[in-house]
């Protein structure tokens, strides 16, 4: 499974549980520190490889570092349609 599919799956599960609003609020609160969190995710990526989640962490880190990545992540969480 590629990173896009893993991250999309995580987003779909958050939406299904009704957790999307929580994650959107957390993103808003932590947005100024997003590049720092992205670097932390990249550092933990080898450990996540043991749980088959490294690709999702890498994609999330890339989104957090991209200029418009936070907005993309917000849109994916707020979008009511399935990924």
Kindly give the confidence (pLDDT) of every residue in the chain, 83 residues in length, as a single tens digit, with 9 standing for 90 and above: 444 578 888 899 999 999 999 999 999 998 899 989 999 988 888 877 777 778 888 888 998 998 899 999 999 999 865 55
The 3-state DSSP class for residue 19 equals: coil
Is position 23 within any domain?
yes
Question: Does 83 map to a domain?
Answer: no
Euclidean distance between CA atoms 74 and 56, whole angstroms: 16
> Which residues are CB-neighbours of 57 under 8 A, at least 6 positions away?
41, 42, 44, 45, 48
Instruction: Write out the residue range of the structural domain in which residue 49 sits.
Output: 3-78
**Residue 51 falls within a domain, yes or no?**
yes
Total number of domains in the chain? 1
């Amino acid at each position: 499974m590629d990173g896009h599919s893993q991250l999309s799956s995580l987003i779909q599960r958050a939406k299904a549980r009704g957790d999307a609003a929580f994650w959107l609020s957390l993103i808003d609160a932590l947005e100024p520190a997003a590049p720092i969190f992205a670097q932390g995710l990249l550092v933990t990526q080898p450990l996540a490889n043991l749980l088959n989640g490294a690709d999702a962490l890498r994609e999330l880190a890339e989104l957090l570092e991209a200029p418009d990545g936070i907005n993309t992540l917000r849109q994916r969480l707020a979008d009511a349609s399935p990924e």
